[in-house]
Structure formats: structure tokens, C-alpha cells
């Protein structure tokens, strides 16, 4: 049979330290959940775009002639991942540093490693992914 002193200790509630630990754990779970939600289709489209751009750059370097990747092909057919069967295609906007009237909205990679440069913005499900293409080196960076 418990004594009245031990019963009082159990009825006191939680300490401030216990409360802070629970709040910290809930914060970490929320952050992990938000990261998992963010990493869905948006990340898949950005990865497909990066793959397509890297393939175009490699082709220009290996074949010795310029390779132009139109904006519409950056996520739909230019990448190695199969994204053509997904019904909800993202909105893709390309801005080239050196616009070409012949290619319109496109990114061009040249055999010397340089490119037309510019940025690609991929909008999907309320998220934006931006890929920068350096004009001098053709380096790709995702923001």
C-alpha cells in the first residue's frame, strides 16, 4: 500500500526539464516531417533537371559541339529518371544569360566546358527549386 508521501510525488506533474525534452523532441519530429514532405516530387524534379543538364554538358564535351537543352525538356525528357508518366508536370522557367533567338528559352553547353549560363526555376506543389548554371565553367548548383 503506497504511503501518502509517495502518492503526492506522483501527483505533482512533470518537471520543467521533462517538458523541455518533450518540446525539443516534438520540434525535431516536426522538422524531420517537413523535410520529408519537402523532399517529395519537388526534389525528384530538381534531380531529374540536374541529371539532364549534366548529360547535356557531358555530351558537349565528349562530342565537340554545342548541345542545347530546351527548357521544356529539362524535366520531361532530358533526364535519366522516368518522369514522363507523372501526371502533374512542374512549371519550369528558364532564364539564359546569353539568350539565343534560335533556341529560345534554353541552356546551351559548349565543347570548351562553358555554357550560355542562366537559371532554371522548377515550381511544383507550392515549392520552388532553383538551379544555377555558370556561364564560364558550366558548373551546376542547386539552391
pLDDT, tens digit (0-9, with 9 covering 90-100), for 15-63: 888 888 888 888 888 777 765 555 555 678 888 889 999 999 999 999 9
Q: How far apart are CA 68 and CA 110, in angstroms?
A: 9
Phi-psi region of 75 (alpha: psi -120 to 50; beta: other; left: phi over 0): alpha
CATH 3.30.230.10 fits 42-142, yes or no: no
pLDDT, tens digit (0-9, with 9 covering 90-100), for 103-129: 457 888 999 999 988 888 888 777 888
Residue boundaries of the structural domains of the chain = 12-38, 42-142
Amino acid at each position: 500500500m503506497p504511503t501518502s508521501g509517495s502518492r503526492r510525488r506522483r501527483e505533482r506533474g512533470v518537471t520543467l526539464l521533462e517538458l523541455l525534452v518533450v518540446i525539443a523532441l516534438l520540434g525535431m519530429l516536426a522538422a524531420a516531417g517537413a523535410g520529408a514532405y519537402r523532399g517529395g516530387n519537388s526534389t525528384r524534379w530538381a534531380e531529374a533537371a540536374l541529371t539532364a543538364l549534366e548529360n547535356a554538358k557531358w555530351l558537349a564535351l565528349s562530342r565537340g559541339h554545342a548541345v542545347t537543352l530546351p527548357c521544356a525538356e529539362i524535366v520531361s525528357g532530358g533526364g535519366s529518371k522516368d518522369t514522363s508518366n507523372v501526371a502533374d508536370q512542374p512549371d519550369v522557367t528558364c532564364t539564359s544569360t546569353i539568350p539565343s533567338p534560335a533556341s529560345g528559352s534554353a541552356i546551351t553547353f559548349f565543347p570548351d566546358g562553358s555554357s550560355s549560363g542562366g537559371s532554371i526555376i522548377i515550381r511544383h506543389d507550392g515549392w520552388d527549386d532553383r538551379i544555377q548554371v555558370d556561364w564560364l565553367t558550366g558548373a551546376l548548383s542547386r539552391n
